[in-house]
Structure 1
Amino acid sequence: MTGSFSNNATATAVEVADMSKSYGIFQALDRVNLKVLAGEKVAIIGSSGSGKTTLLRCIANLERPTSGNIKVNGQFIGDHTIEGRRVSMSDRDIAKVRTGIGMVFQRFNLFPHLTALQNIMLGPLKVLRQDKKDIEPFARQLLQKVGLPEKADAYPDHLSGGQQQRVAIARSLAMRPKLMLFDEATSALDPELVGEVLTVMRQLADEGMTMLIVTHEMSFAEEVADRIVVMDRGVIVDEGNPATIITPNCHPRTRALLRPNRERRARLEALK
């Protein structure tokens, strides 16, 4: 798996339409609309509690939206509204759509009793019903891809946090997803381990993988993303090209999140 991902850049990979999510009286998301093209890299930024993670979890149907529609790769996922009527999907149909989605969480969630190689192979074996002799060479290719070919037989407690997260990325890629969701994939890592995970994510971006990335790594977001989406209090308040999103008329939240990073970068450049 060393080549580029073959996505049709004119196709829509994700479409979120008037989607809301409530927990009791708390409105986590309020009529969110978002469209992501195949091959596009979209970074989602915002302060804690702004709805970023909830949005990703709804797209993967790990949370059930209160209202609105979500399509992934052209197919509805989860409950949706057609002609004013709320329609439910069966767990089996949801699972079919979900096979096209890979998700990497803050925590690595590796099975501690399985080796790195076994963790990567588990999804294709159990979900896709593939034969072990067919999936094992591919799983080893993925370990090579994330820079850990020598860790095939290592158990998670013998891996660093960065290594565990790279195995988690390889595990998601083993399902051959068309869409990758990253939910603060580096936030649980020690600072010195962040770079090795971002390197793998940057490689996937360069290869054309469709990616939705919730991150607090502002430099990475500006470098990798085709578009930055800014959330505040459950609403998308701003979005645009990373190079031009800060304007005199941009949302104050955008300015607060991105300007310090740019000012810091300018100071470092001045010192060179």
Structure 2
Amino acid sequence: MNSEIIVKAVDVTKRFGDFLALDKVNFEVRRGEVGCIIGPSGSGKSTLLRCLNLLERMDGGGIWVNDELIGYRRDGDKLYEISDADVARQRRRIGMVFQRFNLFPHMTALENIIEGPVHVLGEPPEKARAEAKRLLERVGLSDKQDHYPSALSGGQQQRVAIARAMGMRPDMILFDEPTSALDPELVSEVLDVMRDLATSGMTMIVVTHEMGFARNVADTVTFMEAGKVVETGPAAEVLGAPKNARTAEFIKAVQT
């Protein structure tokens, strides 16, 4: 595997009962790239992210992160599920930002960010606190460190969630439609933070319907439908001159 490739998914298959959610999906992202995944609802975009982050177990194929097969160990031609401890170790390297923020409601913004570094990474509390304050300043929320999630707007909560993911010092961050639960006027403040992250060189995989963000920030765009990758390539090509008629139809629909 090319050492520049941080994520490589090969023939990834996932079923929920009789429903084929992912049908031999192939996908890759290089270190420092922003890869956007687009497509209609139910196309498998979020399921692919959840397989990447080991929130769902694949039924077939494999995903490698930094050349390490995730979720399984190989013994000859057979694959065996790894232990929960090894799953947790692998998952620590992959940040995740969800649609619905998933902040701990009983913790302040600062405490939400500190929780992982202290209790998962074993950092000294004072070091974690100093880093959390720096991250809150980076996302424009240094004045909200003592606020609980209920006192924050949706956009502010999502920015705290991004800072929390960054606090774990991941190799990459996955974003699952991070603006879909926000009021329209709050979307830009979250996208601005994501643009800053992209500029800093963070590897990002973003499931999104924000075509402007994909056009201006993404290095690659992948269009999915019915659990399959229909088209993938450089963002300018996929969004500007798609080769597949269904890709073109979808892009036209979401931009009008």
Assess same fold via TM > 0.5: yes
- Structure 1 vs Structure 2: percent identity of aligned residues? 51
Q: Which moved more, 1:231-240 or 1:244-253?
A: 244-253
Residue in 1 that maps onto 2:83: 90
Please, which of 141, 146, 152 is the counterpart of residue 148 of structure 1? 141
Distance 1:13 1:193, change over 3 A: same
Aligned-residue Cα RMSD (Å) equals: 1.7
The answer to whether the 8 A contact 2:99-2:179 is kept is yes
Q: In the TM superposition, what whole-angstrom CA distance separates every residue of 1:194-251 from its partner, at most 9, and x where no partner exists? A: 0000000010011111010000111111111001000010000101222222577721
CA distance in 2, matches of 1:247, 1:184: 22
CA distance in 2, matches of 1:177, 1:184: 19
Distance 1:82 1:26, change over 3 A: farther
Runs of 5+ unmatched residues, structure 2: none
TM-score of the pair, normalised by structure 2: 0.95
SS of match in other structure, 1:87? strand
Please, which of 17, 28, 33 is the counterpart of residue 21 of structure 2? 28
Q: Which moved more, 1:10-19 or 1:77-86?
A: 77-86
Distance 1:156 1:84, change over 3 A: same
Residue in 2 that maps onto 1:223: 216
**C-alpha displacement at 1:258, in angstroms?**
2.1
Distance 1:241 1:187, change over 3 A: same
| Paired residue total | 255
**C-alpha displacement at 1:139, in angstroms?**
0.3
**C-alpha displacement at 1:11, in angstroms?**
1.9
Amino acid paired to 1:165 = Q
CA distance in 2, matches of 1:145, 1:230: 31
Please, which of 124, 145, 152 is the counterpart of residue 159 of structure 1? 152
The answer to whether the 8 A contact 2:176-2:207 is kept is yes
**C-alpha displacement at 1:95, in angstroms?**
1.1
Q: Which moved more, 1:156-165 or 1:67-76?
A: 67-76
Runs of 5+ unmatched residues, structure 1: 1-8, 265-272
TM-score of the pair, normalised by structure 1: 0.90
CA distance in 2, matches of 1:248, 1:13: 27
Residue in 2 that maps onto 1:269: none
Equivalent positions of 1:125-204 (< 5 A) are: 125-204=118-197
Distance 1:251 1:91, change over 3 A: same
